[in-house]
Structure 1
Amino acid sequence: MECESEVILDVNARALAGEQTSPRAKQFLMSRLTMALIAFTLFLATGVAVFLFSNAPVKVNLRHTLRQISNSRAAIHLEGKIKQQCVLTSVKWMNDVDQSHSQGGLELQNNEILIPRDGLYFVYSQASFRVSCSSRDADNITSKRMVHLSHTVKRCSSSFGNNNDKTILHSIRTACQNTASRDPDSVGSWFSAVYMGAVFHLKRGDRLKTVMEEKMLEKLEDEAGKTFFGVFAL
């Protein structure tokens, strides 16, 4: 009996001791778990930071490369001028005056725009005119009642064969109607602009030029921004 009572007392004592230490064990486990979560969070944050910093130069370089590509896109804008040495069927185009510029391989050669590579291009041109709608010549008024303005852009390409010159843009506009006047200068002038533009698939080596009647050239306005011719790659 004495042995049995000792065993029972020993078991009870151990059980009591286990109950007394259980909260401490739980607190210890919670503390370890909290530390582990903090360590994992710090590790994850460090990994993200290293990834972002290691890729920052790539993003900067990519942005810089895209900016360079955008800046080097082929484009040309020419200003039209009236000069004595110009041919009688076209405006004299200039690439070194006012807002004219060129980049990306598009060039002005022999009063024509040279295409550097195959691709889609937007071609545009505007011609501004100052015309008089009054005349002392009654015969001229009878035979030609309306005053017409026109402007043409042509494409020259080896892909066309023998006929390597085709019209790609053409516009004609009626400016006014001729009237008889004893003093035409007192009536004043009419101002009108002919603009045109469209997208074309052009090939390397193609040349673009403008064509205008000689009588239209006499009425052309060549002040800055009034008459221009340009192309840019899409």
Structure 2
Amino acid sequence: MEGECKVLLDAAVDTEARTQTLRVKPSSKLTTALLVFTLCLAAAAAAVLIVNRHAKGPGPDEDNFDLHHTLRQISNVRAAIHLEGEYNPDRKTSVEWKKDVDQSHFQGGLELNNNEIIIPRKGLYFVYSQASFRVNCVSDDDDYTSKSMVHLSHTVKRWSKSYGADDSIKSYQTILHSVRTACQKNSNSQLDEEGSWFSAVYMGAVFNLNEGDRLKTMMEEKMLQDLEDGPGKTFFGVFAL
């Protein structure tokens, strides 16, 4: 009797163990399959999102980035103007400045108005100018003991509200001025048959200018007739720093 109970008990234990084994194994395989299936779904969803994003084009954030980048490029255009000069007998105190000839150009708000450069906004600017001349150095005086020197000069003047003057007065102040001795009058020039002396007066410096400031050049009338106005010889310009 005792032996039969032991056999039955062992059989019951063995049967229960097999049952548990059968229950565990299918559960483990099912979990693995579910995990693999979930990963596949996640990968497929990510692929769909990527495809849709490319099909729709850049999002709002990317559009805003492109717009800001373009605006920065526009705002970074440095203000500059370069003018070519020529002699105009109707102007008695200055060169006639041209903005649409040879290498002349303008951008960033700087402009030419009434033969003057207008400053668009407050800031540091480099102002420069050059005037070239062909001077006759032959003297008509036979008294060589009193030989005269030929001087060339060129001036840039500024008008600004910061000076405190009335707008209607247009009081200008000199900001650049240069004088050069070209030659000495002589009866026998050693330069060429006509006794001409070629010379240029150049000047340039940095200034803190205000919005609405006006810049102009001045020159003695007698020198304007000797002006060399070929390409690149006489010019006037400003650029922002």
* TM-score, length of structure 1 as denominator length: 0.73
User: What is residue 108 of structure 1 aligned with on the other side?
Assistant: 112
The AA in structure 2 aligned to 1:219 is D
User: What is residue 229 of structure 2 aligned with on the other side?
Assistant: 222
Shift of 1:227: 1.0
Shift of 1:126: 1.5
Q: Which among 112, 134, 152 is matched to residue 130 of structure 1?
A: 134
Question: 2-side partners of 1:138 and 1:183: how far apart?
Answer: 17
Q: Which runs of 5+ in 2 are unaligned?
A: none
Do the aligned partners of 2:189 and 2:195 also contact (CA within 8 Å) in 1? no
User: What is residue 83 of structure 2 aligned with on the other side?
Assistant: 78
Shift of 1:153: 0.5
Do the aligned partners of 2:147 and 2:184 also contact (CA within 8 Å) in 1? no
Q: Which runs of 5+ in 1 are unaligned?
A: none
The AA in structure 1 aligned to 2:122 is D
Question: 2-side partners of 1:54 and 1:180: how far apart?
Answer: 80
Question: 1-side partners of 2:145 and 2:36: how far apart?
Answer: 106
Q: Structure 1 residues 231 and 140 mapped into 2: Cα distance closer, same or farther (>3 Å)?
A: farther
Larger radius of gyration: 2
Q: Structure 1 residues 16 and 66 mapped into 2: Cα distance closer, same or farther (>3 Å)?
A: closer
Do the aligned partners of 2:191 and 2:197 also contact (CA within 8 Å) in 1? no
* TM-score, length of structure 2 as denominator length: 0.71
Question: 2-side partners of 1:182 and 1:97: how far apart?
Answer: 35
User: Does the alignment pair 1:195 with 2:194?
Assistant: no
Shift of 1:221: 0.6
Q: Which among 135, 150, 154 is matched to residue 151 of structure 1?
A: 154
Stretch deviating more after TM superposition (73-82 or 132-141): 132-141
After superposition, the C-alpha distances for 1:76-103 in whole angstroms (9 at most, x for unaligned) are 433211121111x321223444444555
After superposition, the C-alpha distances for 1:13-63 in whole angstroms (9 at most, x for unaligned) are 135435754773464255235325524643774697579443343344334
Stretch deviating more after TM superposition (27-36 or 223-232): 27-36
Aligned residues: 231
Do the aligned partners of 2:156 and 2:216 also contact (CA within 8 Å) in 1? yes
Q: Which among 7, 12, 15 is matched to residue 10 of structure 1?
A: 15
Do the aligned partners of 2:129 and 2:237 also contact (CA within 8 Å) in 1? yes
User: What is residue 62 of structure 1 aligned with on the other side?
Assistant: 68
Stretch deviating more after TM superposition (191-200 or 105-114): 105-114
Q: Structure 1 residues 28 and 113 mapped into 2: Cα distance closer, same or farther (>3 Å)?
A: same
Percent identity reads 49
Stretch deviating more after TM superposition (73-82 or 149-158): 73-82
Do the aligned partners of 1:136 and 1:183 also contact (CA within 8 Å) in 2? no
